[in-house]
Every structure is written in structure tokens, then in C-alpha cells.
Amino acid sequence: MKDILDNQNKTVCITGAGGGIGRSIAIEMNKAGYNVACADINLDGLNETLKLLNKKAIALKTDVTNLEAIRKMIHEVIKTFNSLDVMVNNAGVTRAAKIEDLNEKDWNWIFDVNAKGTFFCLQEAAKQMIKQKTGGRIINMSSNGAKGFVDVSNAIYAASKGAVLSMTKTAAQQLGKYGITVNSICPGVTLTDILQKIIATRAKEQNKTREEVLKHYLRDVPTGQANHPREIALMVKFLSSEGGRNISGQSYNIDGGVVPS
């Protein structure tokens, strides 16, 4: 089997690349020399991301809840770049809500994107990587909310990200024989547009300023700091690099130490 590291023209596909963490991942991987396929349902956001990248990048409007759209995404990646070496399943949704305020619509929406979308993107990427016989890296975006972070946006979100952790472990066990590694990243409080919306909701509910809400989120974080999206992107780059060659089935917290395992 040819090692992925021998490939001088590596390609990464990133879902949820229209902003936030996904955009930062696209930028860092593009800087590192990867061909970058940016996928998102938000075409305007994708176009903004593309402006920040060099010519080795494409934008693919993709709804990760639609299996045919996922298949088309992978097809376009191969059509353009001839291979898929790294798949980053980053697309995710949530909203700030208490348990008593959540409903079936929330469950379907959050699980469709975060769990179903991640699994079927993982599956289609794995099929392509197996076909190529060159190995590959699959990186799933979970959350420290899946591990008990007390200020998680809502319980359904936490459950959906727990599903991501579970599928990561099983996929790592089943795909290892093909030279494919599967890992997950669990960010904590990260300064994205989604977080700003959550903070705004909490501030209104609690009659506090946004600064006070953010300070509350960081009160138990040992480092006292929130993440910047680039820090998540750098972990993706490491897991895709030579240093990540034999790392699989793991979940990495990037949260300043608030969740210990």
C-alpha cells in the first residue's frame, strides 16, 4: 500500500468551510500545500472563504443531510483533484436552549447535520480512500460538550457530538486495515459566529452583557482563555501530517483543560 505521505499532491475536503472553524481549517491546509475542497450549504460564506485561498481550491455547495449531495461532493473532489487524502467532517449546527425548551424539530435538525451528516461524509470518503489504496485521514469535529462541559449549548447538541465520538472509535477500528486513520477533535469555547449567537441568546435570557456571559463560560477553564478557530485548524493539520500517521481512534480536547479527559 502506498503511504499517503508519499503523495505530493494531497487533497483535503472540509465540510462547514463557509466560516468559523471550517474556514480556518481551509486556510491552514491551503497554506500547507493541500488542494482544498470547501463544502458548505452557505454559498456566500464559501465564496468568502475561497477569496482567502490560492488557486488550489474549489467551493462546493453541499447539504450534508442529503446523501446524493454528499456523493456529488466527493465526485467533484475526485473530478477536480484526482484524489481524496484527508476528509474533515466539520459541518455542525446548534442553538442555545434549555432542556425544557427543546423540541422534535431541534432533534431532527441537529442530528441530521451533526450525526447523520458526519457519518455519511465519513462513509463516502472512506469508500474513495479504500478505492485509491493509498490510505487516508478522516477527522471528525465533536465537542467537549459530548464529554460533559456544563455550559454546552443544549442537550441534543451534546448527544449528537457524543454520536460523533462513538462513530469515530468504531470507524478507526474498521478502517485501519486500509491505512485510514479516524480521529475526532473536541473544541471548547471557541470564538466563532455560532458562539456569538449563543452568547447573545444567553445574555438576553440572563439580563447580562455579552462580556459577562463569556466570562462565565471561561470561569472554570484552567487557562482562562477561549480558543481561536486557527488553534483547531492547527490540530487538523497535525493529524493530517507525518506526526499523525499512527494516531487513530482518539479524541482531542482543545478547551484549556476544562474537561480533563
Give me the pLDDT at residue 154, please: 97
Instruction: Note the CATH number of domain 4-190+229-254.
Output: 3.40.50.720
Q: Is residue 184 within 8 Å of residue 252, measured between CB atoms?
A: yes
Annotated catalytic residues are 157
pLDDT in tens, 34-55: 999 999 999 999 999 999 998 8
pLDDT at 7: 38
Q: Are 4 and 10 in contact (CB under 8 A)?
A: yes
Average pLDDT of the segment spanning 97-107: 97
Read off the C-alpha cell for 197.
449567537
pTM for the structure as a whole: 0.92
Q: Among 102-111, 166-175, 199-208, whose mean pLDDT is lowest?
A: 199-208
Per-residue pLDDT of 52-93, as tens digits, reads 998 899 999 999 999 999 999 999 999 999 999 999 999 999
Which residue, among 106, 136, 108, has the nearest Cα to 123 in the 3D structure?
Answer: 136
Query: Residue 12's pLDDT is what?
Result: 98
Residue 8: its pLDDT value, please?
53
pLDDT digits (tens, 9 = 90+) for 125-155: 999 999 999 999 999 999 999 999 998 999 9
48, 49, 55, 57: CA torsion to nearest 10: -130
d(CA 246, CA 238): 12
Cα–Cα distance list, 50 to 24, 28, 55, 56, 60 (Å):
11, 13, 9, 10, 10
Residue 20 C-alpha cell reads as 468559523
Looking at the chain, which runs of residues are DSSP E strands? 11-15, 35-40, 57-61, 86-89, 136-141, 180-187, 251-254
Residue 4 confidence (pLDDT) above 50 = no
**pLDDT, averaged across the chain:** 94
Q: Round to whole Å and give the CA distance between 12 and 25.
A: 10
Instruction: Indicate the domain borders of the chain.
Output: 4-190+229-254
Phi, psi torsion values for 97, nearest 5 degrees: -160, 145
Average pLDDT over residues 102-108: 98
The mean per-residue pLDDT over the stretch 152-179 comes to 98
